[in-house]
Each structure stands twice: as C-alpha cells, then as structure tokens.
Homo-oligomer: A and B are copies of this chain.
C-alpha cells in the first residue's frame, strides 16, 4: 500500500531477448530470477544508490549505474529534482544474457513512476530504461526492458519512433534457461550487427518472426516451435558458447519446442509446452555442462505474463 508512502519495493524479472528469430525486436519475461529494488524519497535532491546486494562489482555511482541513469532520464522528463535513495538486490547475475541490467533499469523506472505518481505509460518507461541499456552495452536496445515492463511476450516493432506491442502469452509456455559460467560481453557480441546478409536469408527470418507472433496469438505450440529458428545471428554467436550445439540438440530431443541463445548469450533458453517437459529439458541441458565440467546455473520458469510488480 504505497498511498502517500515515501518508499516502494518492486520485483523486476529476468527476460529473454531475441527469442531465436526476433533479433533486437522480440523478448519475454520470466517469473524468476529477478532483482528487488527499493526506492525511498529523500530531501537531498540527489540520486543515491546505497547498496547493491548480490553483485558487488557494480558501481554505486548513480551516473555509472544503469539504475541511476534510467531514473535520471525519467526525472529529467518529469522536470523533477526529487531526491531518491535506492537499494538493489541482484537476483539476475550480470553478464548472464537474461537481462541483468534490464531488470534493474526496468524495475527502477516502474518503481519511481509509481512512487512519484508520475503517470508515464509503459512505452515511456521503456524509453527511460533504455538509457540504462545504453550505459550497459553501448546501445539503447529495448528487447529486454520491454518485456520486463510490459510482461509476457513483447515486440519492439520500431525503435524510431519507439513502438512496443504486447503480444499474447499462451498459458502453458515454460522456459528453461541455462547459464554456463563463462563470459560473453554484450558489447562484443553486438558486433554481429555489422554483418550484411542476402535478402533471401532475411526472408526466412521474417517468415519465422511472423510465424512466432501468429503462433503466440493462435496458442499453436507447434507453430511456435517451428518458428523458433534463427538463420542469421545464432550461427555466428553460438560459436562463442561452448556446448551450444549439444545443448540445443539435447533440448529438442527432450521435447522442447525450440532452443536458441538468450540475448547475446552465454545463457541458452528453450521453450516447452508444460512444466514437466521444461524440467526434462533442464536435465538434458545440465548433463552437457556436467560432462564438460563447466559450472552452470539453470532455471525453469513459466513465461511471466506480468512485468515488474510491487512487493
């Protein structure tokens, strides 16, 4: 109950961007892991990050932290010099490829929007949170912050002007994500953007984007599965992720609808119909890194139809 409160806490979920065919435009939210962000009004006119739990390497300096930058973008547009104190509990590990910076940015702007009764709509909040993404990766991409804020599956139809569409989320859709403990820097992985491609290949990709969006609305799990194919980015980026091909093969064998890189990696996600299959996929993925002797974290989560929520 935040009525006239000077403090708010939110849960901001991890997110999977790209979703195989939808490089830079598609994403969805998980139920967990997530960050918890608490924002408190102060009289200092300053944005102060007091504490970051669970990822001690992240800077407390508000101008160097995605949370500070995203909040400042919001306050600037609001024309407010409200002082705020923020504490962050990171549940989404930085560098995991499931939207760590996005969870913090998204959570922060939703929290401040509510706390200050600023009245910005979700698309505006995405725009502010994208400033956090710009700080984190050098590019103001929206495919993680959009599902974080809107919940469920989102499409960033256009960046200029920003146009975010909330898609339908079939209720039996579960995600398995495995995060092998290796490092792939988002900014490095984004150098893929420099490639050019034959129109013919682009046509294959946008056929799949159309198929995935249609599959979500039709709740046609097989169509979703057939559309989870990336002929452009995955073949390039997957070579940076040891064991990728085996993880993908095992996941499909275990019954997953499809499997690809989460964001720019190194996490790998699979979508399944039903929790039981998603758990089988978890086992199948895990075996690969067990055999390789690579440490990993693995999650099973329903696709989360809701975005950041107050706690």
Contact = CB atoms under 8 A, between A and B. Distances in A.
Interface of A: 21-26, 155-159, 163, 165, 167-168, 192-200, 202-215, 217-218, 223, 226-227, 232-233
A218 B153 CA distance: 14
B227 A157 contact: yes
A157 to B, nearest CB: 4
Contact of A199 (B168, B192, B226): B192
A193 B163 CA distance: 29
Contacts of A218: 165, 217
A165 B195 contact: no
Contact of A23 (B157, B167, B203): B203
Contact of A206 (B25, B167, B199, B215): B25
| Residue of A168, A194, A211 contacting most chain B CB atoms (<10 Å) | A211
A196 B193 contact: no
A155 B203 CA distance: 12
A213 B210 CA distance: 6
Contacts of A203: 23-25
Nearest to A25: B207
A207 B205 CA distance: 11
Contacts of A207: 24-25, 155-159
A210 B157 contact: yes
B197 A155 contact: no
A206 B204 CA distance: 10
| Residue of A158, A192, A198, A203 contacting most chain B CB atoms (<10 Å) | A203
Given A22-B206, A157-B211, A202-B232, 18 more contacts: A25-B206, A26-B210, A155-B207, A155-B210, A155-B211, A157-B223, A158-B207, A158-B211, A165-B211, A167-B214, A192-B199, A196-B197, A196-B198, A197-B197, A199-B232, A199-B233, A209-B209, A210-B213
A146 to B, nearest CB: 12
Contact of A210 (B25, B192, B195): B25
21 contacts: A22-B210, A24-B203, A24-B207, A25-B206, A25-B210, A26-B210, A155-B207, A156-B207, A157-B210, A158-B208, A163-B226, A192-B199, A196-B197, A196-B198, A199-B233, A206-B206, A206-B209, A210-B212, A213-B213, A213-B214, A213-B217
Contacts of A198: 195-196
Given A24-B203, A206-B205, A155 B214 contact: yes
